[in-house]
Amino acid sequence: MPLSLQEGYHVNSNTPSDEYLIPLQLTWSKGVLEPAGVVYPKPRLEKYQFSPDKPLSVFSGNFELLAKFTVPASAPAGPAAMTGKLRYQACNNTMCLAPKNMDVAIQLDIVK
Amino acid sequence: MKRTLQYLAIAAIAGYLAACSFYSAEWPSIKEEKDRKKAPEFVLKDANGQDVKLSDYRGKVVLLNFWATWCGPCEVEIPWFIDFQREYKDRDFAVLGLSLDDDGWTSVRPFLAREKLNYRVMVTSEEVDQLYGGVNSLPTTFVLDREGRVATSHVGLISKNTYRQEILTLLGSPKNENPPVSSNRPPDLLRADLFRPGR
């Protein structure tokens, strides 16, 4: 899943530096496939005006998430879809935006 | 020689304009009294379960700060607000914090204990956020005059001295009691959607 963040903004990585920070998290609704984990990119450790001494674990710019699934034996062949949510919380150098849940969907074709 | 002087003059004017725009977001920006609007009333519970009614603060200068535990820039400002509360509480001044944390006191209460906040904090509601213009960028701070009117507001991290100067001005102190010194940049413009469609 390719993602592109507006210049100047960052989101916390899936493993933020502070317990209070909201991680980037991709979750899937129940569907025809079994979620088998998400591979997140290696986060960057960046310092910001509001955190000049303690680097934060973030994603910025263009990055990709890799979602893994297994196909249950009971899954019917043919077109299918999986839907989920991408939860993120973004900041720039001076302010933060409220956390958001973005709908995500993938279309796939199950071949047996 | 004449041309050189012209270049110098142009450079000086450009520098002056750049300095003006740089400081415009930082220098205290208190509205004229005639332009101030009444801050919307609210009643919310503080950490002790006591009602906090904004109009009860009439007669005081109030710094009303919307924040959240997940907001890094807010965490920078909180120690400043603790200082202001301590320094000016006996001069008819109060800080009120309104948290936007989704899970409310579950996150806020431990944070208050950890950071030792000395001012009243409430968990805000969507209704109150809307009354204040739909707060969705943090920190967002309103400084109210003694009549409960919004004298100035800021979105994003600014300098401690800017706040101090605004508070002192509204408290009726001489303007130069603590002149602002800052190197913060003005906040970027808000964007509705941060994520663009996939490449």
Sorted by sequence, the CB contacts under 8 Å of residue A53 that are 6+ apart come out as A47
Q: What is the CA radius of gyration of chain B?
A: 19
Q: Do A94 and B74 touch (CB under 8 A)?
A: no
Separation of alpha carbons B162 and B97, rounded Å: 18
Chain A, nearest residue to B107 by Cα: A20
Task: Give mean pLDDT, residues A62-72.
Answer: 94
In this predicted structure, the answer to whether residue A55 has a pLDDT above a threshold of 50 is: yes
Separation of alpha carbons A102 and A79, rounded Å: 23
Separation of alpha carbons B29 and B127, rounded Å: 27
Write out pLDDT tens, residues B66-121: 999 999 999 999 999 999 999 999 999 999 999 999 999 999 999 999 999 999 99
Separation of alpha carbons A63 and A42, rounded Å: 10
The conformation of residue B185, written as its DSSP 8-state character, comes to P
Please name the member of B100, B102, B156 whose beta carbon is closest to the beta carbon of A95.
Answer: B156
The conformation of residue A13, written as its DSSP 8-state character, comes to -
Q: Which residues of A touch B197 (CB under 8 A)?
A: 4
Q: Which residues of B touch A64 (CB under 8 A)?
A: none
Cα Dmax for chain A: 54
Confidence of residue B36 (pLDDT cuts 50, 70, 90): very high
Q: Do B198 and A8 touch (CB under 8 A)?
A: no
Three-state secondary structure call for residue B168: helix
Q: Do B198 and A93 touch (CB under 8 A)?
A: no
Q: Do B71 and A4 touch (CB under 8 A)?
A: no
Pick the CATH number of B31-177 from 3.40.50.300, 3.30.413.10, 3.10.350.10, 3.40.30.10: 3.40.30.10
In this predicted structure, the answer to whether residue A34 has a pLDDT above a threshold of 90 is: yes
Q: Do B157 and A94 touch (CB under 8 A)?
A: yes
Beta strands in B74-117 (DSSP E): 93-99
Separation of alpha carbons A28 and B101, rounded Å: 24
The predicted structure's pLDDT at residue B195: 52
Task: Give mean pLDDT, residues A94-108.
Answer: 94
* Interface ipTM above 0.90: no
Show the domains of chain A with their CATH numbers: 2-110 (2.60.40.1250)
Q: Is A89 near chain B, with CB under 8 Å?
A: yes
Structure tokens at B154: 């800021």
Q: Could you tell me whether strands B93-99 and B120-123 are parallel, antiparallel, or unpaired per DSSP bridges?
A: parallel
Q: Is A101 near chain B, with CB under 8 Å?
A: no
